[in-house]
Amino acid sequence: MRRFVSAESLSSGSLRSSGKQKEGKKLPKAGGGVSALAAPGEKIPSPADRAAQQISRMEAIGQLAGGIAHDFNNLLTVILGHSEFLLKRDESAKSRRGRIEEIRKAAERGAWLTNQLLAYSRNQLLEPTVLQFNTVLQDMDDLLRRMLGEDIALDLLLDPNLGWVKVDRGQLHQIVLNLAGNARDAMPQGGRLAIETRNLCVARGSGKPQAFLAPGEYVTIVVQDSGHGMDAETRAHIFEPFFTTKETGKGTGLGLATVYGIVKQSGGYIWVESEPGCGTAFYTLLPRVPKPARPKVPQEVFDFRSSGETILLVEDDPALRKMAAEVLRDTGYKVLTAPSGADAMHIAAKHQGPLDVLLTDVVMPGMTGRELAGQIVARHPRIQILYMSGYTDDTIGHHGLHGQTWRLLQKPFTHDALVRYVREGLEVVARA
């Protein structure tokens, strides 16, 4: 008969929490077999380390793709269904507004899903920031549930008094995704995954949860599954690059090695406890840091109405070009539209009045937005250049904007976001 313990005592023999923990749902206790790896100090990742992390990140994205595609199909069905009702039925204004609100919600949800994929796939410089595990896990809740599937229950057991850590947010996402993906693969018939956070104080002398831990304050995240567990031989190699228990073609063996590298780079520790048939628990500790102060920054108030400025709008997607132009005209701007850089150059050459703003897509067939901006500025040196794009920072950089001082509006955007973006761009010029 399988023994169950409360989430509060998931690892009572290994860790002593320095704060109170909420009672959670029950999981089978991970076995006593321990494979520990200490990771003191910070290490600058080598090119090989960075390549391995990117491969691991893409592997995690592949695991997410199925669940996200399922969600997108649901969202598109909602959008198509309500659109058909709007076209077919002569409903009251209230009913029509309700359908439009549902379409808007579905679109916003789709935008959030796209941004999550872009965030996880983006290859960018590390930006360690002071943050809380709890906030990151709450933000990832929906994404984790899609990744795990409907046959695996997820419990987030979060210490309300959790401390702060300094780590790159994207790398923290990667740690959680890789550990959760590893747990999912260990539960092919379904099961339960608990992710617990807690504070930990390691004192000098005896009584430390692991002998290799340096004294100090830590923040801990425990990822425990009810899967098939690991034997001693597997535990001994679990963090080695390219070690995998999956069949050929099913995994690179870089997921847990990447997690170990990230934890080591962040000055933390990670170890695993597991035995066959008893599930697995991964313990990740990062040094606790002081809570950041919140500086009071006064917000500037802008009048987003136009003063009659002229905008040259360049966008190769006709539906988006039409919509953006309509929004800007409703605000009082004079808008000239072009589907390409070449067309924009022709319009600018024929235009007799001033051109105040060039609002252009970055990635377009033929001439890129950056190339177009360079030519337009040569003829209209006082014009304000504003970019919009649905691509990642990497792709934008490949099209000439890397290292430049530029303003970018990320697609998809709302009416308010577009109008604010243009107005703030013009205010920068007015103050210069």
Q: Which domains, from first to last, does the chain contain?
A: 4-46+125-287 (3.30.565.10), 65-121 (1.10.287), 310-431 (3.40.50.2300)
Query: How far apart are alpha carbons 137 and 240 in whole angstroms?
Result: 26
pLDDT value at residue 427? 79
What is the token pair recorded at 74?
Answer: 């649901």
Task: Out of 231-240, 322-331, 362-371, 413-422, pick the least confident.
Answer: 231-240
Average pLDDT over residues 131-140: 92
Task: Give the confidence band of 392 by pLDDT, cuts at 50, 70, 90.
Answer: low
Query: What is the number of alpha carbons within 13 Å of residue 323 lying toward its C-beta?
Result: 11
| pLDDT surpasses 50 at 38 | no
pLDDT value at residue 17? 43
Answer yes or no: are the C-beta atoms of 218 and 199 closer than 8 Å.
yes
Task: Give the confidence band of 135 by pLDDT, cuts at 50, 70, 90.
Answer: very high
Indicate the helix (H) or strand (E) that contains 422.
helix 415-431
pLDDT tens-digit profile of 59-100? 555 555 665 676 777 788 888 888 888 888 888 888 889 889
pLDDT value at residue 336? 96
Amino acid in the structure at residue 374:
G
Beta pairing, strands 269-274 & 34-37: antiparallel
pTM passes above 0.85: no
Interhelix angle 93-121/47-88, nearest 10 degrees: 170
Task: Give the confidence band of 168 by pLDDT, cuts at 50, 70, 90.
Answer: confident
Task: Give the confidence band of 128 by pLDDT, cuts at 50, 70, 90.
Answer: confident
| pLDDT surpasses 60 at 8 | no
Query: How far apart are alpha carbons 47 and 138 in whole angstroms?
Result: 32
Answer yes or no: are the C-beta atoms of 61 and 67 closer than 8 Å.
no
Query: What Å distances lie between residue 346 and 115, 184, 349, CA to CA?
Result: 35, 56, 5
Average pLDDT over residues 412-425: 88
- Residue carrying structure tokens 């063996």: 253
Burial (Cβ within 10 Å: 0-12, 13-18, ≥19) of residue 316: middle
Answer yes or no: are the C-beta atoms of 43 and 53 closer than 8 Å.
no
| pLDDT surpasses 50 at 4 | no
Task: Give the confidence band of 214 by pLDDT, cuts at 50, 70, 90.
Answer: confident
pLDDT value at residue 12? 35
pLDDT tens-digit profile of 345-380? 999 999 988 899 999 998 888 898 889 999 999 888
Local structure of 224: helix, strand or coil = strand
More confident residue, 26 or 162: 162
Query: How far apart are alpha carbons 386 and 384 in whole angstroms?
Result: 7
pLDDT value at residue 247? 57
- In terms of average pLDDT, the best of 75-89, 115-129, 149-163, 205-219 is 149-163
More confident residue, 54 or 411: 411
Torsion of CA 24, 29, 34, 40, to 10 degrees: 0
pLDDT tens-digit profile of 245-291? 665 444 555 678 778 888 888 889 999 999 999 999 999 999 999 99
pLDDT value at residue 147? 83
| pLDDT surpasses 50 at 7 | no
| pLDDT surpasses 80 at 209 | no
Tell me the average pLDDT of the chain. Answer: 77
Torsion of CA 111, 114, 116, 120, to 10 degrees: -160
| pLDDT surpasses 60 at 124 | no
pLDDT value at residue 59? 57
Torsion of CA 337, 342, 346, 351, to 10 degrees: 40
pLDDT value at residue 207? 62
pLDDT value at residue 411? 83
* Whether residue 354 has a cis bond before it, omega within 30° of 0: no
The proportion of the chain whose per-residue pLDDT surpasses 70, expressed as a percent, equals: 69
